Structure formats: C-alpha cells, structure tokens
C-alpha cells in the first residue's frame, strides 16, 4: 500500500538539470511505493555565471519545470531555491522554516544526513545505477559536444540549453577562469612475480585502475608517483627517470575533468600490497588477463601495454 502522505525532499544544484541518476532515484522511490510527492530543492541558488555554477537559480528552475515530464505528476508545492549560508545551522533552520513539511531526504553528504537525522527526517535508500558527474556534462557543453549529452539528459533539456546559448556561455566562463588541465601521474607497478598491481576504485568512476593521483605543488613527477603508490597500495615502489613511459593528454581521458597524465613503470620489491586511500581492493593481475578487465580510464590499458613493451 502506498503511503501517499510521505513527502521526499530531493536536493540538487541542478547545474543545469536533473540527469538520469536523479530521475532513476525518483523512479526507484515510486516503484518501491514509499514516495507520495517530491519537493525539489535547488541548492546554491545564489551562485551563477561560473564554470561550477554557470546557470542562475531561475534558469535551473525553469529548465526543470519545462523538461522534467517524468516526475511532473508528483511534484509538490513547486521547486524551491535555497542559497548558500556557509553555516550548517542557519542552512538547516532555513530549510525547516521555509519549505513544506517533508518525511524523507535523499542526499549523500554525511553532514547533511547527520543534520537531517537530528531533525527526525528519514534518509531514503536507493541504488546508484548511473555513474554521472555534472563536471563532465558542463565540460561537454563548454566544448559544444551537445550530441554526447544524449547519454545523460533528455532531448527537451538539450534543446533548452541550446536555446539559451549554453555552449557559448560555458566556453566563455572556462576561458575567463583560465581553467587549465590538471597534472596527474599513473604508475604501472610490477611485483617480483611479474604481476601488475591494479586497484578496484571505491569512488566514482568505479571499476579497475592503476594507482594514480594529482601532482602536488613543489613536487616532482617521480616524487608524486612514489607518494601516490604508497598511499594507495601501502608499499614503497622503485621508480627512476628511465622508467618514464609517456604522457596521455586526451581531453576525454577522464570523464570528470581534463587531466594530463604522465605514466611510469616501477617495481615493488618488499611485501604484499594492501588497499588504502582511494583503493577499495588490490588486484594482482597477470598481463595476459588485462583484456578481461573493465578499466575506469581506458588509457590505463595503453599504459600497461607500453610498460610491457619497454620490458621486452
């Protein structure tokens, strides 16, 4: 029996819209018969005209109202714009005093969950079936690759973004903010038995990857490679300048942002690796098994083959 009095508060910055992950979460709630109505709260509504928040609160609200047909029948009391307060208590008080009464909340921020539980709100559980990041979508818009958005957004949403000249706007924001690519290092680490050390990532994008991360300021590439390997697999690694493989700079190589990676091969000569930091699990993989794995970053496979060629 559906409890139609239960109201669900859905939190999103919606920069620029509700994508398939959001709609899928709402659909799960409907299918499980514990959602009666949904309130959509657009956060950071006072942030606009930047790469992270390119659209105004009013534009985001209009876009949802015009293009979200999937949830039109269960939207309740309109869509609310919530500014940032930079104070959790003020933020929470504003929500409780200015939004209609609600029972459930869906959000993944631990601070928000803790505050909502203190206010006796229930946290809605759902399965994440889509690996989608707004950073990826905004970069696709800025590069005017609107056809790639069909994987994430509805046709109506894409048409609306074209109507308000979103690609031109975001391109200007990125240029004005001098958003340069990030510098990263990747490491193809070999054990004494010739196995390749891979990690099963605990964060998005999921699947398998090489140990990698961003280069810190005042840090050399080799120092960064050694540090990150130690942080992710808990063992030191031997790397020399001659172990440099190549750089990978395709703007699409990382679905979240434009990262340029410099890759190294290295040797582990001490004890067995152990998962830490961003690694959920360590995979000691034979080179012949590489093709059977799903990589979070496809060019990691290229780095492995490059390292194997250098060993021959």
pLDDT, one tens digit per residue, over 115-132 is 787 878 777 766 666 666
Provide the pLDDT for residue 1: 37
- Considering only residues 34 and 272, tell me which one the structure prediction assigns the higher pLDDT: 272
Residue 264 — pLDDT band, cuts 50, 70, 90? very high
Closest CA to 248 of 235, 266, 261: 261
Strands 182-190 and 122-123: unpaired
Residue 2 — pLDDT band, cuts 50, 70, 90? very low
Helix crossing, 155-163 with 166-176: angle to 10°?
Answer: 70
Give residue limits of the domains in the chain.
7-175, 182-311
Provide the pLDDT for residue 275: 54
CA-CA distances (angstroms) from residue 162 to 12, 156, 170, 218?
A: 22, 10, 12, 42
Structure tokens at 212: 């990698």
Provide the pLDDT for residue 18: 74
Cβ-contact 282, 197 below 8 angstroms: yes
Residue 30 has pLDDT above 90, yes or no: no
Least confident of 57-61, 75-79, 148-152, 303-307: 75-79
- Considering only residues 155 and 265, tell me which one the structure prediction assigns the higher pLDDT: 265
* pTM over 0.85, yes/no: no
Instruction: For tokens 């514990």, name the residue.
Output: 34
Preceding peptide of 102 cis, ω within 30°: no
| pLDDT tens digit sequence for 51-69 | 888 899 888 888 887 766 6
Residue 75 — pLDDT band, cuts 50, 70, 90? low
Provide the pLDDT for residue 187: 92
| pLDDT tens digit sequence for 216-262 | 878 899 999 998 888 878 788 889 889 999 999 988 788 777 889 99
- Residue range 7-175, CATH number: 3.40.50.620
Q: For the chain, what percent of residues have pLDDT higher than 90?
A: 11
* Range 120-148 average pLDDT: 78
Average pLDDT, the chain: 80
- Considering only residues 28 and 293, tell me which one the structure prediction assigns the higher pLDDT: 293
* Range 281-286 average pLDDT: 81
Class of domain 182-311: alpha beta
Provide the pLDDT for residue 182: 85
**163 exposure class (CB count in 10 Å sphere: 0-12, 13-18, 19+):** exposed
Cβ-contact 307, 265 below 8 angstroms: yes
Provide the pLDDT for residue 160: 87
| pLDDT tens digit sequence for 106-116 | 766 667 777 78
Provide the pLDDT for residue 261: 94
């Amino acid at each position: 029996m559906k409890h139609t009095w239960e109201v669900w508060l859905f939190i999103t910055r919606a920069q620029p819209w509700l994508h398939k992950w959001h709609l899928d979460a709402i659909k799960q709630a409907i299918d499980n018969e514990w959602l009666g109505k949904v309130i959509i709260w657009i956060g950071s509504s006072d942030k606009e005209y930047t790469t992270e928040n390119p659209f105004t609160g009013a534009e985001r609200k209009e876009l949802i109202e015009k293009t979200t047909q999937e949830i039109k029948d269960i939207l309740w009391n309109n869509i609310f714009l919530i500014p940032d307060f930079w104070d959790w208590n003020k933020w929470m008080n504003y929500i409780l005093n200015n939004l209609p009464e609600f029972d459930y909340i869906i959000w993944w921020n631990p601070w928000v969950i803790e505050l909502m539980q203190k206010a006796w709100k229930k946290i809605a559980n759902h399965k994440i079936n889509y690996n989608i990041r707004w950073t990826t979508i905004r970069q696709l818009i800025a590069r005017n690759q609107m056809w790639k958005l069909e994987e994430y957004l509805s046709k109506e949403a894409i048409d609306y973004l074209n109507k308000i000249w979103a690609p031109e706007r975001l391109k200007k924001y990125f240029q004005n903010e001098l958003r340069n690519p990030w510098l990263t290092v990747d490491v193809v680490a070999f054990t004494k038995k010739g196995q390749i050390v891979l990690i099963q990532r605990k964060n998005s994008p999921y699947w398998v990857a090489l140990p990698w991360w961003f280069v810190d300021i005042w840090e050399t590439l080799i120092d960064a490679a050694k540090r990150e390997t130690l942080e992710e697999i808990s063992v030191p690694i031997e790397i020399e300048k001659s172990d440099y493989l190549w750089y990978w700079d395709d703007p699409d190589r990382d679905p979240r942002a434009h990262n340029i990676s410099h890759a190294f091969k290295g040797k582990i000569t001490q004890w067995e690796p152990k998962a830490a930091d961003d690694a959920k699990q360590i995979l000691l993989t034979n080179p012949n098994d590489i093709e059977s794995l799903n990589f979070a970053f496809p060019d990691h496979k290229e780095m492995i083959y490059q390292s194997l060629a250098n060993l021959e």
